[in-house]
């Protein structure tokens, strides 16, 4: 008989990243990170949709203190000092899981040291203990858009093979330290991001390379190997641990039934599935060689790499899902942006205030396709609506738009489960308002919990519950029955 509803033990919760919440960028012995260099640039002054891919000049100004900009990821929402209060609120909502990341430079301030920073390790001990106190399962990303800046300035980020060893050492250190506190891990957040936003994903500063795609795909190969070595180490240290990969899912529809549009869409899908093909199946898929030849990309592999990839595949596949795209063989018309990528506007879909196209049914399609392809447990570790919340006099934010978005997506998850998909959990993005990755804004809010802070970092940082807080609490309490 098919499964009719969410399975027992389904991991309901919320997802965050250290650089978007923690703050305390220079506290507790932490080193500077790539994210600490990213300024907030008001919309009128921005040149593109995203502000997180930095130039050499921006990094220099951030490092030598000559930039007059505000750097929101240095302060986050000060989870560093508020974690007890925030986790108590997550517990009140009934969270079963909390996705977070470890800030690599909090553990290894420069990234190439042998000895970890004890104060940094102790901070995460405290966070995990606090989660455990409420029975909340930590789901921990080792790398979420953040690395020690020293590894970028000294080694060229992930283009350098040495990063594999540094990352493996970091992974082994935290796996060993937290083996009794953390079961669910993931290696690289949105690993495909390195090819779309090289600084964010791989510490690759575009203006330092003549052929950025070559640098990015080489960096990606190093991440694939580092990820597989982390899976190996994690399983050796704690055989019970579950270690996943993480993809920014980019479902796209052919604009018409013209075979040229359909073929283009298939090719784009392959370029999105390439990452999980390697991490779940354990080898480079045959279709990628033609792409590499056409783009003049040559991957330098060391002997033994193919065995490492083959022997240490992931336990589950996790992904983020926010929107879908439309693909045409001859691009035209109005563009629809996304977190990393833009496509053609879909006339059947509504969009968020940031132009991201809202597509709950697309989530069911994606879940079916992923499960058909891989047959491993799936985990939705990001999904949500970034919106401007208006704070009324009485203080209660009536965020029905957010509830509506989430409800429709959860309904489709339920349908996918009925279709036979093995779905292990759902962590909504930004359960508490946090700093946006793409624009470093604060006003793009995803939370069930409001944080009093503006784009320039002004505010009391006070936390308050929105209407969606009570709604999500009910969803979890009823294991997805009351939506
Ligand atoms: C994902 C990232 O791409 O999208 C998150 O993994 C990010 O870190 C999320 O915050 C939403 O994007 P944004 O730009 O609205 O913060």
Residue-by-residue DSSP string for 422-444: -EEEEEEE-SB----TTT--SSS
User: Which residue reads 């109005």 in tokens?
Assistant: 334
- Map residue 341 onto helix, strand or coil: coil
Token pair of 445 as six digits: 């809010």
Q: Work out which ligand 1 atom sits closest to the CA atom of 430.
A: 10
Among the atoms of ligand 1, which is closest to the Cα of residue 50? 14
Residue 345: per-residue pLDDT: 87
**CA 95 – CA 98 distance, rounded (Å):** 7
The pLDDT assigned to 93 comes to: 98
Give per-residue burial for 302-312: e unless 16+ CB within 10 Å, then b: eeebeebbeeb
Contact 218, 212 (CB under 8 A): no
- Kindly report the protein residue whose alpha carbon is nearest to atom 7 of ligand 1: 437
Among 99, 353, 379, 437, the mutation site with the greatest number of ligand 1 atoms within 8 A of its Cβ is 437
How far apart are alpha carbons 440 and 243 in whole angstroms?
29
Beta-carbon count within 10 A of 202 CB: 31
- Residue identified by tokens 């592999």 is 301
Query: How many whole angstroms separate alpha carbon 232 and alpha carbon 180?
Result: 18
Ligand 1: does its nearest atom lie under 6 Å from the Cβ of 382? yes
Task: Please name every residue paired with 247 in a beta bridge, in sequence order, or none if there are none.
Answer: 319
State the burial class of residue 276 (Cβ atoms within 10 Å of its Cβ: 0-12, 13-18, 19+).
buried
Q: Give the whole-angstrom CA distance, residue 42 versus residue 145.
A: 21
Q: Determine the Cα–Cα distance for residues 194 and 219; give it in Å rounded to an integer.
A: 8
Is ligand 1 within 6 A of the CB of residue 455? Answer: no
Characterize the bridge pairing of strands 378-382 and 463-465. unpaired
Residue 146 neighbours by CB distance under 10 Å: 26
Centre of ligand 1 to C-alpha 438, Å, is: 6
The CB of 59 under 6 Å from ligand 1? The reply is no
Give every residue of the chain whose pLDDT is below 70, as ranges. 1, 49, 333-334, 338-342
| Residues facing 268 on adjacent strands | none
Q: Is 130 a catalytic residue?
A: no
The superfamily CATH assigns to domain 11-250+302-326+336-477 is: Glycosidases (3.20.20.80)
- Asked whether 440 lines ligand 1 (CB < 6 A), one says no
For residues 15 and 446, the answer to whether their CB atoms sit within 8 Å is no
Q: Give the number of the atom of ligand 1 that is nearest the alpha carbon of residue 435.
A: 16
pLDDT at 331: 74
Q: How far is CA 205 from CA 135, 299, 319, in A?
A: 41, 19, 25
Distance 304 CA to ligand 1 centre (A): 34
Q: Is 339 in the pocket of ligand 1 (CB under 6 A)?
A: yes
* Placement of tokens 């009391």 in the chain: 460
Looking at the CA of residue 189, tell me the nearest atom of ligand 1: 6
For the Cβ of 177 lying below 6 angstroms from any atom of ligand 1, the answer is: no
Per the document, the length of the chain is 483
Beta strands in 16-166 (DSSP E): 97-101, 137-143
Residue 291: exposure state from Cβ atoms within 10 A (0-12, 13-18, ≥19) = middle
**CB–CB of 25/109 below 8 Å?**
no
Q: Give helix then strand counts, H and E, for the chain.
A: 16, 16
Q: Is 103 in the pocket of ligand 1 (CB under 6 A)?
A: no
320 C-alpha to ligand 1 centroid (Å): 9
Ligand 1 pocket member 438 (CB < 6 A): yes
The Å distance, Cα 430 to ligand 1 centre, comes to: 9
Interatomic CA distance for residues 144 and 436, integer angstroms: 13
- Quote the ligand 1 centre to 436 CA distance (angstroms): 6
Compute the distance between CA of residue 151 and CA of residue 102 in angstroms, rounded to an integer: 17
Residue 22 class from Cβ within 10 Å (0-12 exposed, 13-18 middle, 19+ buried)? Answer: buried
Query: One of 146, 168, 382, 441 is an active-site residue; which one?
Result: 382
Question: Which mutation among 322, 382, 432 tests ligand 1's pocket best, with the greatest number of atoms within 8 A of CB?
Answer: 382
d(CA 274, ligand 1 centre) in Å: 21
Does the C-beta of 200 come closer than 6 Å to ligand 1?
Answer: no
Round to whole Å and give the CA distance between 400 and 470.
Answer: 12
Cβ–ligand 1 distance for 268 under 6 Å, the answer no
**Residue 411 confidence (pLDDT):** 98
- Residue whose Cα lies nearest atom 2 of ligand 1: it is 437
Two tokens, residue 427: 């962590």
């Amino acid at each position: 008989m098919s499964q009719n509803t969410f399975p027992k033990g389904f991991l309901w919760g919320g997802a965050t990243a250290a650089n978007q919440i923690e703050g305390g960028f220079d506290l507790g012995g932490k080193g500077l990170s790539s994210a600490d260099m990213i300024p907030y640039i008001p919309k009128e002054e921005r040149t593109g949709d995203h502000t997180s891919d930095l130039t050499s000049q921006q990094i220099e100004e951030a490092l030598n203190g000559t930039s007059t900009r505000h750097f929101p990821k240095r302060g986050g929402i000060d989870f560093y000092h508020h974690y007890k209060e925030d986790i108590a609120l997550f517990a009140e909502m009934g969270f079963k899981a909390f996705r977070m990341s470890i800030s690599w430079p909090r553990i290894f301030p420069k990234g190439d040291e042998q000895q970890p920073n004890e104060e940094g390790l102790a901070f995460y001990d405290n966070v995990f203990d606090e989660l455990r106190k409420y029975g909340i399962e930590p789901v921990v990303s080792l790398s979420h858009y953040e690395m020690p800046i020293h590894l970028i300035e000294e080694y060229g980020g992930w283009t350098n093979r040495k990063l594999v060893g540094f990352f493996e050492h970091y992974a082994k250190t935290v796996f060993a330290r937290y083996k009794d506190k953390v079961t669910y891990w993931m290696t690289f957040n949105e690993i495909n991001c390195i090819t779309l936003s090289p600084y964010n994903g791989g510490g690759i500063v575009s203006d330092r390379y003549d052929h950025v795609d070559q640098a990015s795909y080489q960096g990606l190969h190093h991440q694939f190997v580092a990820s597989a070595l982390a899976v190996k180490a994690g399983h050796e240290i704690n055989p019970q641990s579950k270690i996943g990969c993480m993809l920014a899912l980019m479902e796209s529809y052919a604009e018409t039934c013209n075979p040229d549009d359909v073929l283009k869409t298939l090719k784009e899908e392959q370029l999105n599935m390439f990452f999980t093909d390697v991490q779940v199946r354990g080898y480079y898929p045959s279709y990628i060689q033609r792409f590499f030849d056409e783009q003049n990309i040559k991957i330098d592999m060391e002997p033994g790499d193919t065995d490492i990839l083959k022997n240490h595949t992931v336990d589950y596949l996790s992904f983020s899902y926010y929107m879908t795209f439309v693909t045409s063989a001859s691009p035209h018309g109005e563009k629809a942006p996304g977190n990393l990528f833009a496509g053609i506007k879909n006339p059947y879909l509504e969009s968020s205030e940031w132009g991201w196209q809202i597509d709950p049914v697309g989530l069911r399609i994606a879940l079916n396709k992923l499960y058909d392809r891989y047959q491993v447990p799936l985990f939705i570790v990001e999904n949500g609506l970034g919106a401007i919340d208006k704070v009324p006099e009485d203080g209660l934010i009536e965020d029905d738009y957010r509830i509506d978005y989430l409800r429709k997506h959860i309904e489709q998850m339920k349908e996918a489960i009925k279709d036979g998909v093995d779905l292990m959990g759902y962590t909504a993005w930004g359960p508490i308002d946090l700093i946006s990755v793409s624009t470093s804004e604060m006003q793009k809010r995803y939370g069930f919990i409001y944080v009093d802070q503006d784009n320039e970092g002004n505010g009391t940082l006070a936390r308050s519950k929105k209407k969606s807080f009570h709604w999500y609490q009910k969803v979890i309490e009823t294991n997805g029955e009351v939506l």
